[in-house]
């Protein structure tokens, strides 16, 4: 991880949540450079970090009641990350709390996001992290890779 200053490092370490550290550590294990956004913990909405110094990434971790995937919660969280927090990439993490889901849930999420953003000027990439793997989709096609 890279910090702007030692003061930023201390402040961010205090504020980081366990699930954020978990995902950042996974990204580091993948060989990515992760740059924490020192403004992310302020009052105005901001993306959480940059990957490789370029992609603005917002992390959304699912903590659903009953452990089941909720389409509306996932859609709202990802939409907020793109529209309000300025993220290029939104990671929606289902691994931290071991969320139960069906593949159709992910397909429905990608279609709903595509339909919502179809006539809007936003570009986005979404990664849904599961214990089975990572599902990718973006604004150009509602297809899961």
Q: Give the pair of three-digit tokens for residue 134.
A: 């990572």
Which tokens is 119 given? 């006539």
pLDDT at 20: 84
Kindly state whether residue 42 falls inside one of the protein's structural domains. yes
Is residue 117 domain-resident? yes
As a whole number, the mean pLDDT across the chain is 84
**What is the spatial distance between Cα 133 and Cα 113, in angstroms, rounded to a whole number?**
20
pTM: 0.82
Quickly state the pLDDT bin for 119 (edges 50, 70, 90).
confident
Print the domain residue range for 54. Answer: 6-138
Tell me, what CATH number does 25's domain have? 3.40.1350.120
75 in a structural domain: yes
User: Each residue of 41-54: pLDDT tens digit?
Assistant: 767 788 999 999 88
At residue 131, the 3 state secondary structure works out as coil
Task: Give ∠ CA 43-47-49 in degrees, rounded to 5.
Answer: 120
Q: What is the pLDDT of residues 87-98, one digit of tens each?
A: 999 999 998 778
Residue 31 lies in a domain: yes
């Amino acid at each position: 991880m890279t910090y702007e200053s030692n003061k930023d490092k201390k402040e961010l370490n205090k504020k980081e949540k366990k699930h954020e550290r978990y995902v950042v550590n996974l990204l580091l294990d993948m060989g990515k450079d992760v740059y924490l956004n020192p403004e992310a913990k302020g009052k105005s909405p901001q993306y959480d970090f940059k990957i490789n110094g370029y992609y603005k990434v917002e992390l959304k971790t699912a903590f659903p009641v009953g452990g089941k995937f909720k389409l509306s919660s996932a859609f709202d969280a990802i939409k907020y990350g793109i529209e309000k927090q300025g993220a290029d990439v939104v990671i929606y993490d289902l691994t931290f709390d071991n969320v139960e889901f069906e593949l159709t849930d992910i397909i429905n999420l990608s279609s709903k996001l595509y339909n919502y953003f179809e006539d809007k000027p936003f570009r986005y990439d979404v990664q849904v992290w599961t214990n089975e793997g990572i599902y990718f989709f973006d604004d150009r096609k509602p297809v899961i890779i």
